[in-house]
Structure 1
């Protein structure tokens, strides 16, 4: 809950050109700036930053947003963290909303917890250097000092209250909230992590938010993660993402594994673009976060039955985030191997070959469904379509969905239209162009263009006058937002107010069309008024036609008193004009 006024002030103070240029070198391109897109691989620059409108747009992958959106996409942050990051750059302090603070945390709690985690990490790193047993274990796993430093690996010694050596007040609430200590029913406290190799979970900003502990030698559980805390939500975080960032850009591929030791082993052997989920199944948020940065995800799970089940859950959760220009594949290792053991035995070239030849999502989906059904029987073929239906309905990608429907039709013996009907899918046969009014959509589109250039004009939009066109909801929403503000809103401010609203995408698309097009600032008011005049004429014409059709069908006596008066007025005006 960040005050809207603060977001406006922040966007007014941060220059998006300076911000983006600090991450991606920009070159002047007419009135705008251009670069190769940081969110997908390309050779020719299609990423454009507008200094006047304070937004970026990529004509290649469609990435679009303000300074806040850029930090969220590039750094993989949430909205609140992006605000805090930009505020820090601008020397501003983020105010907390009245009544409660962010995520119901205590004032200043986040910073305190981050400091607590950093002190614990420093202690664990020092303990690793002092423990011959832990060092020997790392060597046995083939981990070099360089990779241990890269991932900040440490060691939690055996013993119940070792963190007393770090924190003078072992009973401080922060230690329990951060997940470093456990308190039993009797109120006695002890360290959560004991005799474990400690791997920090780090955010893109370099802040430690959690730990993963791997038991030394034998013991259960083999892996122990921090509990969920105000800092750590395991369904949103990926281990190794900050360390993998450069390799992700270079390869345009993210390899997702089940464990952090897999990521560390792959990195040790030259595969730097691997990340891992943290004690949970892959979530749609994980997939969305990765697909903002790469065009291809390859899931590499253990070769046993549990690994195959994890792969299927990953597939189910990936479907909603998929796009036709993105790819998802699956690598299935031999049953006795995980990525860690496989790359140590067979080396990087063989692992790279498996990743390059990963089974496409569509093949994995169809193969798994076919294994559940007896395709030699009518019942089995019917079940194939039954099992496929919820998966197809999740897919937002029309091209891939069409390919899957065709293959399901071949496998089941149903005709393609029958599969679409049984799965309640909309047919993708192009509908014949409607004989609709051609002027009204172009007028509302022009109105939207003018308003995005000069948002204060949105106050003067007569919403009731707008015809039912694709632009109408967007114009109505802009009218609402600008009318509710006493300030002169910029496009960047409006863009943030639109975040998550239904009209967001159409306004994004319209804004991207403005880039590079000339606009007469001085003539904006006149053009706006002229467009409204034409819309009013069109509205009057439509109203007259509707009344005329009703009069012809039911006679003038079939009109209400108000309709008769309006009809007579229309006829009189028409006669006077002629």
Structure 2
């Protein structure tokens, strides 16, 4: 952001925007204990785990871990920067941040962004009037592409005249200064530094609008056969194409409902699909998806469908986008267009249902890469088969699921007529024992007595008590007993819920102990409804605690000992501090001498207990 806003202004806006009211605009909330609960807007879920605290004015999702205040909620949900989120919330509360901001830097930043928004708005209106007020090349082109006036108006499409300074002169007459028009990215400076000329000329104009309805930039498509075919606004204080998606402002509600988003390459692809009734579609403002765009897509939808053009450039862009989406954690599939060069052409020739059928038959990431590799290599030759298998095994090495790997190994074996054993060797190498050894070193913290002392795998045994602090031990133990009543019965014999030293852990333990008195299993919903927002966050951490899958009995005992040891150590420290205070007194009373003796006896007892642990 580059500036720091006055805390009083931020607090005032937050106080005037109750988080329950704001979140309720997007999420159906129900009262649940001392909080409110609904389906998380940041990930797909069937059981509500999105908690909003009226008291703390904070939200936390027990499922995905997203959390924050009302400003961060708007930033994440509407893809806004801090200033725009603050401005929007201010508008809802009747607070004009432009008027009450006191910092000079605040005012400069706000004015700069507001000025560009206004320039863009006037430019968009200018382009729109050029398009619709009389016949022109732009309108003829859009009609030829099958658009109607209703769609043109919906997207605010426009036309940049075939002149050098038409827009610039219009904006200057509106009262804007030349430097601001230049910073908005609408004009370019002449080489001789003797003036400016319009960036967009003789092009159909596509306004890029953010989720709050502000024009942040433009895309222009050439009408005649000239290069470049598409031209976008440069980066400005309000626009970065790597952080935005075309038509997300129109698609967001449909996307949230369907939890699926279709990503296409071009503006016309979006508009053509939208006009046919397919509204969960956006364009990536370029051929390659960025990491920020992938994170934005993940925020809105569980599944991303890539439907780029079927040409070679489109395939290359698809592969880059697939890898970025996978890294962002998106579920992703690829439409392999069988009819038409691009989505817009397909939907206009074959109709909406034809495109939806393509979406239904979309390929997974791995299947898409296998298909491309088959097309690149001749599987009727030995050389082609070898290249095919080698290319796919490199992909399979990146997979984490053994089941998924096994499925594709069998599929590749059928496709290439190469044995399963040979493909496995290509993936894992010849020394299978080395692979097993590596897996054990990386993942197993608790070993059997035999393995530990024979040093069979040439590793050093780990001591859980040294590795795990008491808070982590408490949370790991809570996870084990929440999932297993047998474990709870064993723990209950040695620990009561008061023995959990962390206050939140102790409250959760008390609820767990109480629920097991009347039930054979724990329903997390029953716990969630009795926790405040901070405790919900702690329960989320407990849920995600890493506990061993092997030698669980030993781990259970280690966790108990860690908790017991911490309690004793804390008591020991308390006694030491009290003894120091009493020893400093010169004229000790009889009561104080008796107290010292009692503390010394307790101290010796604690030392013996510590020695046993």
Instruction: Normalising by structure 1, report the TM-score.
Output: 0.70
* 1:238–1:286 CA contact under 8 A, matched in 2: yes
Rounded to whole Å, the distance in 2 between the matches of 1:179 and 1:238 is 18
* Match of residue 242, structure 1, among 230, 245, 249: 249
Instruction: Describe the shift of the 1:381–1:243 C-alpha distance in structure 2 as closer, same or farther (beyond 3 A).
Output: closer
Q: CA deviation at 1:158?
A: 1.6
2:34 equivalent to 1:23: no
Rounded to whole Å, the distance in 1 between the matches of 2:177 and 2:89 is 35
Q: Show the counterpart of 1:198.
A: 205
* Match of residue 155, structure 1, among 152, 159, 168: 159
Q: CA deviation at 1:367?
A: 4.4
Q: CA deviation at 1:88?
A: 4.1
* 2:260–2:305 CA contact under 8 A, matched in 1: yes
Q: CA deviation at 1:4?
A: 8.2
Q: Show the counterpart of 1:76.
A: 79
* Match of residue 145, structure 2, among 141, 144, 151: 141
* 1:330–1:360 CA contact under 8 A, matched in 2: yes
* 2:128–2:157 CA contact under 8 A, matched in 1: yes
2:537 equivalent to 1:535: no
* Match of residue 299, structure 1, among 306, 312, 332: 306
Q: CA deviation at 1:40?
A: 4.4
Describe how 1:166-565 pairs up with structure 2 within 5 A: 166-168=171-173, 172-186=178-192, 187-322=194-329, 326-334=330-338, 337-368=341-372, 380=387, 383-384=390-391, 387-388=394-395, 392=398, 398-399=400-401, 403-404=404-405, 407=408, 410=420, 412-414=423-425, 418=429, 432=446, 436-437=464-465, 440-441=470-471, 445=475, 450=504, 509-510=540-541, 535=566, 537-538=568-569
* 1:215–1:223 CA contact under 8 A, matched in 2: yes
* 2:333–2:363 CA contact under 8 A, matched in 1: yes
Rounded to whole Å, the distance in 1 between the matches of 2:71 and 2:502 is 23
- 5+ residue gaps, structure 1, are 454-490, 496-504, 514-530, 543-568
For residues 245-287 of structure 1, the C-alpha deviation after alignment (integer angstroms, 9 at most, x for no partner) is 1221232211101111110111111111110011351111111
* 1:303–1:335 CA contact under 8 A, matched in 2: no
Moved more, 54-63 or 143-152: 54-63
- 5+ residue gaps, structure 2, are 411-419, 448-461, 476-499, 508-531, 545-561, 574-598, 609-613
Rounded to whole Å, the distance in 2 between the matches of 1:285 and 1:352 is 27
RMSD between superposed Cα atoms in Å:
4.3
Number of residue pairs aligned between Structure 1 and Structure 2: 477
Rounded to whole Å, the distance in 1 between the matches of 2:106 and 2:281 is 35
Instruction: Describe the shift of the 1:332–1:66 C-alpha distance in structure 2 as closer, same or farther (beyond 3 A).
Output: same
For residues 77-104 of structure 1, the C-alpha deviation after alignment (integer angstroms, 9 at most, x for no partner) is 23443334334444273898989669xx
* 1:64–1:508 CA contact under 8 A, matched in 2: no
* 2:37–2:49 CA contact under 8 A, matched in 1: yes
Instruction: Normalising by structure 2, report the TM-score.
Output: 0.67
2:97 is paired with a residue whose SS is coil
Q: CA deviation at 1:344?
A: 0.6
Q: CA deviation at 1:108?
A: 1.4
* 1:2–1:97 CA contact under 8 A, matched in 2: no
Q: Show the counterpart of 1:34.
A: 37
The structure with more radius of gyration: 2
For residues 428-457 of structure 1, the C-alpha deviation after alignment (integer angstroms, 9 at most, x for no partner) is 86654787449924676556554999xxxx
Rounded to whole Å, the distance in 1 between the matches of 2:446 and 2:42 is 36
Instruction: Describe the shift of the 1:188–1:49 C-alpha distance in structure 2 as closer, same or farther (beyond 3 A).
Output: same
Rounded to whole Å, the distance in 1 between the matches of 2:132 and 2:245 is 27
